[in-house]
Amino acid sequence: MRVFFSSEVTPDHPLVQATQALSLELIATPLIAFAPLKNLPTQNYDVIFFSSPRSYEFGKTLIRSEVLVACYAAGTAKHLPRVDWQGSTPGNPAQTAQAFQQWVGNRRVLFPVSQRSLGSIARVFPEAQKEVLPVYQTLLAPQSLPDCSVYLFTSPSNVEAFMLSHAFPPSAKVFAWGESTKTYLINHGVVPDFCRSDEAVLDWVALLSAWVNP
C-alpha cells in the first residue's frame, strides 16, 4: 500500500518512521513550486505579519528594527529571529484573525504573501490599515503519481495540482492539513477523512493503521 504526502520529508520525520513500521510505501513530494516576486511596500507599516515559513523566507528583508513582528502560529514562529506576537489557534483562522486585530489596534500592518493567498487574516482589517504585498508566486507543479491508499495534502494548491491530472481511487483515505485545505477539498467534492487543525503531535502509526488495516 502507498501513502502520498504533498511535502518533502527528512529521514527522521515521524511519518517516515510510521510508514516504515507499517511496511507502507511513502511518496513524499510537493506538487507546487515557488518563485520570488520583486514587489516592495508602497506605504509605511508598524507591524509585519508572516502567515507561514514561506512568507518569511520571501519577505524577511522587509523586517525593520522599528517594526513589530507577528506570525500565524508556533510553526512559523520557530523560523523567525524575533516574535512580538504569535497566534495560538492555528486550527481556527477566524479566531486568530480576531486576536491579532485586537493586538494590532490602530497600527498599520504589512502582509507579505503568495499571489495565491486566501487572505484569511488580512481580510479582517480595513484597507486603510493594511497592505497585502505578494512577495512570491506559488506555482502548480503536477506530477504523475501511482494510485495510493492514503493522500495527505498540506495546502489547497497541492490539492489543485493533484486534481489537474488525477482522481482519487474510490477506497482512498484523504487527510487535510488545516482548515483551508479541508475547505478546498470539500468545495471540490471530496470530504476528507481527517483534518489536522492544530500543531499537536500526531500518532501517525495509529492513524495510518486505522486506515490501511480496518
User: What letter represents residue 12's amino acid?
Assistant: D
- Number of other CB atoms surrounding residue 202 within 10 Å: 16
The CA-atom distances, in angstroms, between 196 and each of 29, 38, 93, 136 are 19, 33, 13, 26
CATH number, position 47: 3.40.50.10090
Residues 43 and 78 in one domain: yes
- CA-based end-to-end distance of the chain: 13
> In this structure, what DSSP letter does residue 171 have?
T
Residue 34 CB contacts under 8 Å (≥ 6 apart), including other chains: 54, 58, 114, 136, 137, 138, 139
pLDDT of residue 91: 73
Q: Number of structural domains, the chain?
A: 2
Q: Across the 214 residues of the chain, what is the mean pLDDT of every consecutive 10-residue run? A: 94 92 95 96 97 95 97 92 92 89 98 92 96 97 95 95 95 90 94 79 85 71
Q: Are residues 134 and 146 in the same domain?
A: no
> Any residues with CB less than 8 A from the CB of 109 and at least 6 apart, and which?
45, 46, 47, 48, 49, 70, 122, 125, 129, 130, 131
Whether residue 153 contacts residue 177, with contact meaning beta carbons closer than 8 Å, is answered with yes
Listed residues 111, 138, 165: the one ending a domain: 138
Are residues 17 and 57 both part of a single domain? no
pLDDT of residue 89: 82
Provide the pLDDT for residue 179.
Answer: 83
CA distance 71 to 48: 8
Distance CA 145, CA 160 (A): 14
Residue where one domain finishes, among candidates 117, 138, 159: 138
Global pTM reads 0.86
Q: Please say which residue of 94, 118, 138 terminates a domain.
A: 138
Residues 133 and 42 in one domain: yes
Strand (E) or helix (H) holding 111: strand 109-114
Domain range for residue 161?
Answer: 2-31+142-212
Are 7 and 110 a contacting pair, CB within 8 Å?
A: no
The pLDDT of residue 51 is 93
**DSSP secondary structure, 19-66, as one string:** HHHTT-EEEE--SEEEEE-----SS--SEEEESSHHHHHHHGGG--TT
Residues sharing a CB contact under 8 Å with residue 19, sequence separation 6 or more, in sequence order: 3, 25, 26, 204, 208
